[in-house]
Amino acid sequence: MKIKLVVFDLDGTLINAYPAVSRSVNYTVKHFGFAPISHQKIKRTVGWGDRHLLQTFLGDANLDAALKVYRRHHAVALRKDTKLLSGALKILQYLQANGFKIAVASNRPTKFSLIAIRYLKIEKFFDYVLCGDKVKRPKPAPDILKAILKKFSLKATQALYVGDMQIDIKTGRGARVKTVAVATGSNTPQELAALKPWAVIKNVFEVKRILAGL
């Protein structure tokens, strides 16, 4: 069945916001008297939402207060330290020009996803943006992809999902959507391949080739 919809994860797939996340995490842990955390360790923890991110480094004590500090800082940091990944703009232009529906499925809260999308001036490419704070169960549960399919009245076989983490592969599998893993984010190519996605690619623009093959 012909693919009509391509759904992207955001962080590590289309955009590089890791520097902004690192700055905001370290600002927050310093605020609460904790030692700095390495960029690599933070990057490996991204993808499960900001509550999980801070909980990993600060525990449950003062978590709500820490989230307020983090989110206040992050709203500014995103506008300074966020860039499109190589190939991202080209694939969005290609998909839009060729009549595909394009959506985002991110565990990042809606407010911050939209800040990044608008800052990078790519909002015009997306027909729908759905984030983990708008579904009952965020990724790796399949809810977010199922909700997007429902939005467009499409079957799972009519969609392709592109993400950079093992969590994305699990989400795609749960929703029975073909999932392509791009090795530009938190997981290594070997870690991605271990979960046997439809394909592992090095640059998100390779989605064009994948679609041609389908």
pLDDT digits (tens, 9 = 90+) for 183-205: 999 999 999 999 999 999 999 99
Note the pLDDT of residue 88: 98
**Which residue segment(s) compose the domain that 65 sits in?**
18-77
Both 163 and 124 in a single domain? yes
189, 106: one domain: yes
- My answer on whether omega of the bond before 140 falls inside 30° of 0, hence cis, is yes
Q: What is the dihedral of CA 27, 25, 128, 105, to 10 degrees?
A: 180
At residue 78 the predicted structure's pLDDT band, cuts being 50, 70 and 90, is very high
Give this prediction's pTM: 0.94
What is the Cα–Cα distance from 120 to 136, expressed in whole angstroms? Answer: 28
Instruction: State the CATH number of the domain containing residue 30.
Output: 1.10.150
Q: Which of 36, 61, 77 is the last residue of a domain?
A: 77
**Cα–Cα dist 11/107, whole Å:** 9
